[in-house]
Homo-oligomer: A and B are copies of this chain.
């Protein structure tokens, strides 16, 4: 891939990091060295259950989903990852254990990826990344906890409204099937929620 193209893909990651903690130019270079852009096509797996998750993914454009398939074959979406979002199976990544989650692409999606060893060497070469990734993980943790809380304490309708407020953009961009799977309901039931919705606002 051409160097200028790679730079174009890196720009969003630079500004993402700079938004957290300003980076020196050496640190930016380190990023350029360790992260690799990669295109995944709609439906393509980024990561499959049964494999160890060996890289972190930052989405440049497009949209991914992380999900688990249960014994009945139903898929439960844990998280979407669209522009400027991270989407990783941290459990598998850090424990180096086999993952039970899948990540695949809902649209053609460009991601930046770092492998485990490269990440470690970034920590060694520039400890600022320790702090950055600590913050990232904290944020992810908080988001997951919020979602947990919601799931155990709200009705499908409430969850749907929360989804609309939190991810307004995804709500018109993704198929309803995917949103239903994220909310933990059937597409049919979501369709009914929506039609009730439009009748009495």
Kindly identify which residue among B1, B38, B44, B50 contacts A41, using a CB–CB cutoff of 8 Å: B44
Q: With A and B bound together, what is the CA distance between A43 and B1 in angstroms?
A: 20
Copies in the complex: 2
Q: Does A48 contact B (CB under 8 A)?
A: yes
**A48–B38 CB distance below 8 A:** yes
Majority SS of interface residues in chain A? loop
Q: Does A131 contact B (CB under 8 A)?
A: no
For the side of the interface on A, what is the size category?
Answer: 10 to 19
Within 8 A of B (CB), among A1-47: 1-2, 36, 38-45
Within 8 A of B (CB), among A43-58: 43-45, 48-50
Kindly identify which residue among B40, B45, B50 contacts A1, using a CB–CB cutoff of 8 Å: B50
Residue numbers in B under 8 Å from A49 (CB-CB)? 1
Kindly identify which residue among B36, B41, B50 contacts A45, using a CB–CB cutoff of 8 Å: B41
Q: With A and B bound together, what is the CA distance between A49 and B48 in angstroms?
A: 21
Q: With A and B bound together, what is the CA distance between A36 and B38 in angstroms?
A: 25
Residue numbers in B under 8 Å from A45 (CB-CB)? 40-41, 44
Residue numbers in B under 8 Å from A104 (CB-CB)? 41
> Closest CB of chain B to A121's CB: distance in Å?
21
Residue numbers in B under 8 Å from A50 (CB-CB)? 1, 36, 38
Residue numbers in B under 8 Å from A42 (CB-CB)? 43
> Closest CB of chain B to A148's CB: distance in Å?
27
Residue numbers in B under 8 Å from A43 (CB-CB)? 41-44
Residue numbers in B under 8 Å from A44 (CB-CB)? 41, 43-45
Q: With A and B bound together, what is the CA distance between A44 and B46 in angstroms?
A: 10
Give A contacts to B, CB under 8 Å. 1-2, 36, 38-45, 48-50, 71, 104
